[in-house]
Chain A
Amino acid sequence: SAVISQKPSRDICQRGTSLTIQCQVDSQVTMMFWYRQQPGQSLTLIATANQGSEATYESGFVIDKFPISRPNLTFSTLTVSNMSPEDSSIYLCSVTGLAGGNGLEQFFGPGTRLTVL
């Protein structure tokens, strides 16, 4: 099965700074997504990372705060900008369209645990 990796796995940051999280898949995928999971909570979709074009953001999330890139079919980045303690969360990428699957199955990366002081 495909390997989905994220960097960094965790980080502690100062408020007002920015952090870029990377998501790498070892095979081409159709769709890539970014989710946020606040402590003890469910997963909330931030945006769909579109290859070669601007990401599609969900209600409550904006590009200035969470700029996303997806330069190819295996890689995406999420930046958390101008961070505040409320941004402390786990950020997960997910992918669909892995070879051998049903096309709809969505698999998650290991997540990035972000703490903002």
Chain B
Amino acid sequence: GENVEQHPSTLSVQEGDSAVIKCTYSDSASNYFPWYKQELGKRPQLIIDIRSNVGEKKDQRIAVTLNKTAKHFSLHITETQPEDSAVYFCAASKGSTNYKLSFGAGTTVTVRA
């Protein structure tokens, strides 16, 4: 089955700096890559996703890049703010062929004021 690895496990950044989280996947048939943000005691929330026919997608301060050849994708958060502090999970699926998501282990992001 799909194996998703996520790095780093923890990330501490100064407010206003950028944060980058990287994930790799093993199954070349995976074609859908969402990112979730989970605040303490809350449900995971979808913040951005990308399909394999796109190399990059941006939404305000958040961007995701995908390298299909290398089978890795990354989340970039610019101008970080204290409210960006949370656990971030990457995931992968085979899209409409198989909707099941395989999750990375998570990255705890702390934004220092």
A interface list, Cβ under 8 A from B: 30-31, 33, 41-45, 48, 58-59, 92, 94, 96, 102-111
Contacts and interface: CB of A to CB of B under 8 A. Distances in A.
A2 B59 CA distance: 21
Given A33-B99, A45-B100, A107-B46, 19 more contacts: A33-B100, A33-B101, A41-B105, A42-B105, A42-B106, A43-B89, A48-B99, A59-B1, A92-B44, A102-B49, A103-B96, A104-B32, A104-B34, A104-B49, A104-B99, A105-B46, A106-B46, A106-B101, A108-B44
Contacts of A48: 99-100
Nearest to B6: A42
B56 to A, nearest CB: 17
Contact of A42 (B34, B42, B51, B89): B89
A96 B99 contact: yes
A80 B29 CA distance: 33
A49 B99 CA distance: 12
A89 to B, nearest CB: 14
Interface in B15-71: 32, 34, 42-46, 49, 51
Given A33-B100, A42-B103, A48-B100, A104 B93 contact: yes
Nearest to B89: A42
The bracket for how many chain B residues form the interface is 20 to 34
A106 B89 contact: no
Q: Residue among A43, A44, A103 with the most chain B CB within 10 A?
A: A43
A108 B89 CA distance: 13
B34 A105 contact: yes
B44 A43 contact: yes
A84 to B, nearest CB: 24
A45 B5 CA distance: 16
A110 B46 contact: no
B103 A106 contact: no
Contacts of B106: 41-42
A45 B101 contact: yes
B96 A104 contact: yes
Q: Residue among B44, B89, B105 with the most chain A CB within 10 A?
A: B44
